[in-house]
Amino acid sequence: METAINQTFKTKATKLLGVNKEDAKISKTYLFVSFVILLVGGFLGLAQGLNRAGLLELPSWLNYYQVLTMHGVFMLLAFTTFFTFGYLYAGLSHELGGLLPKVRKFVWTAFASKIIGAVLVVIPILMNEASVMYTFYPPLKAHPMFYIGLVFFAVGMWLCNVGAFIQVANWRKNNKGKHVPIFSYFATGINVLMFFALIPVAIEVLYLIPWSLGWVKTVNVMVSRTLFWAFGHTLVNIWYLTATSAWYVIAPKLIGGRRWSDTLTRVVIIALVIMNITGGFHHQIIDPGISLPVKMMHVFMSLAIGFPSLMTAWAMFAVFEKTARKQGGKGLIGWYKKMPWGDVRFLALFISMASFAPAGAGGIAQTTNQLDTVVHNTMWIVGHFHLTLGVTVALAFFGISYWLVPYISGRVLTPQINKLGVIQTWIWTIGMIFMSGAMHTVGLFGSPRRTSFTTYGDHATALGWNPYMMAMAVGGTLLIIGVILQVYAVINMMFFAPKGETEFPIAEAEENASPTPYWTERWGLWIVVMLLVVAMAYVVPLTEFIVNAPPGSPGFKTW
Ligand code: HEM
Ligand SMILES: [Cu+2]
């Protein structure tokens, strides 16, 4: 009896303090690892940038392609994954009354699995046995340990997905007929998408392992590439959806407003979940062996994803304008005067959002066959994903950290750290404008991606790239300053900032909103629709690749 009372007292106390201690530990660990990875990954990126400008010669024991493989894996896979789960689980705990003990076990096991996976992936890269880039396209063949590490990492991601499903399902059981709260609804969508996107890449890796062990002689290159991009394309959209969650749910609260249409928000999430996996072939638009109608269908599906993105842009500006008008803002663009530009939590989110306009436009160009033939495999592409990932996603994550880290650490954001954050945000933005701008431009002039420094025997065209490479190195230098400031801010907020209570800023739905229809809760149905759309896009080409397969390829170690 007494323990029961103690128990309730304890939960009350933690509730009052705003955060459940055990759940906070989970998020803190995930976020800490995430930012350490960002720090290492940032230095690797700088090394690449300086090398390509001819300013830095890499040592023979850590060559360009080892650095590039590690940078890609760290930034695209590890930084993002650890951040996303630290963030999502903090929100699930906050909104759904604390994580279930079972769910915590899932998340910790997942953590161990991901760390083991990451170590297993890094060892062969350092041994120079796995310079296959984060895309690990066969016939490039890595050490088996690399692929086994990927399996552990994927299992870790799956365990996190399942933990989230259990948490949400439990809440729904206890709250029959109610809508899952909005942050948890986003978390559900993100986890559903990730759970299914991991299946094709898991199949790919499981058949690359026997090949890399030498048990099987050859591999079907087209099937592997297709399975990879069904995942890879979806993964980057998962990070985008994670950033989007902060725009819809967090940003309105930071400006003192309310969320925009709850129904529309949920429809956007459903649309992004259903349509995403099916865009994968736009990464293979130049690949031979895929029939034109199939490519056309993927182009169509890729452009279709632009639709919910445009809805998002519209919704966001509607929120800004509505909120500003309530506060007395006037005129067509008068709202911008009312926005809290000095608040890093808002500023970073805003630039994250704004950058998606040019980033998305570039993406639409790349989805067009003729235009893509100009930029395919050039530095343009690297410029593109440093806008989408490096700004839209990374800046959203940075912006979130300025309230999330204090929230889970029982501390507060001080004016000094806020100021530092504002400076960091601008340094990062300017750095990326330099770097990404230079990459886009030099890509149009034909400079290839994934190529260490060379002047091609002082060929005039290659020499013409030099000024842009210098601009790229300048951008990279600004960015590393940005990385250091950001990591410093996170460490400060996690361990040293003054103790206090920080809010998890979830905005309320708008006043007198019409009720959200209940079909938005029917995830079983949406998953079936998603699988049908995926089948429409992949069954025919995959069957074709397998039934009419050309001779398989043996493995190559080109480095
Ligand atoms: C300090 C900041 C950064 C710098 C200086 C930097 C620099 C670079 C450079 C120079 C390359 C490419 C080179 C090539 O193709 O030869 C590259 C590739 C890449 N970067 Fe970054 N980057 C930074 C941050 C980021 C961030 C924040 C992300 C994502 C969250 C990211 C994701 C990637 C990916 C996925 C690649 C492609 C790797 C590949 O082609 O296999 N980078 N980066
Ligand atoms: Cu894509």
Convert the pLDDT of each residue in 265-308 to its tens digit. Answer: 999 999 999 999 988 888 998 998 888 888 888 888 888 888 88
* Distances 481 to 316, 405, 476 between C-alpha atoms, Å: 30, 20, 9
Residue 1 has pLDDT above 60, yes or no: no
Contact by Cβ (8 Å): 471, 438:
yes
In whole angstroms, give the CA distance from residue 465 to residue 379: 11
Segment 213-234 shows an average pLDDT of: 96
Q: How confident is the model at residue 17, as a pLDDT?
A: 52
Nearest CA to 527 among 197, 261, 306, 231? 197
Verify whether ligand 1 is closer than 6 Å to residue 76 (CB atom). Answer: yes
Ligand 2 geometric centre to CA of 213 (Å): 30
The residue whose C-alpha atom lies closest to atom 22 belonging to ligand 1 is 45
Contact by Cβ (8 Å): 443, 375:
yes
Query: Residue 79 CA: which ligand 1 atom is closest?
Result: 30
Q: How high does pLDDT run on average in the chain?
A: 93
Convert the pLDDT of each residue in 430-461 to its tens digit. Answer: 999 999 999 999 999 999 999 999 999 999 99
| Ligand approaching nearest to the C-alpha of 306 | 2
Residue 3 has pLDDT above 90, yes or no: no
Q: How confident is the model at residue 16 (pLDDT cuts 50, 70, 90)?
A: very low
Segment 47-52 shows an average pLDDT of: 97
Segment 476-480 shows an average pLDDT of: 98
Segment 330-358 shows an average pLDDT of: 90
Contact by Cβ (8 Å): 381, 366:
yes
Convert the pLDDT of each residue in 103-120 to its tens digit. Answer: 999 999 999 999 999 999
In whole angstroms, give the CA distance from residue 359 to residue 387: 6
Residue 11 has pLDDT above 90, yes or no: no
Cis amide leading into 138 (omega within 30): no
Q: How confident is the model at residue 385, as a pLDDT?
A: 96
Q: What are the backbone dihedrals phi and psi of residue 327, each rounded to the nearest 5 degrees, phi first?
A: -90, 10
Q: How confident is the model at residue 78 (pLDDT cuts 50, 70, 90)?
A: very high
Convert the pLDDT of each residue in 362-419 to its tens digit. Answer: 998 999 889 999 999 999 999 999 999 999 999 999 999 999 999 999 999 999 999 9
In whole angstroms, give the CA distance from residue 470 to residue 4: 66
Mutate to test the pocket of ligand 1, among 386, 395, 432, 474 (most ligand atoms within 8 A of CB): 386
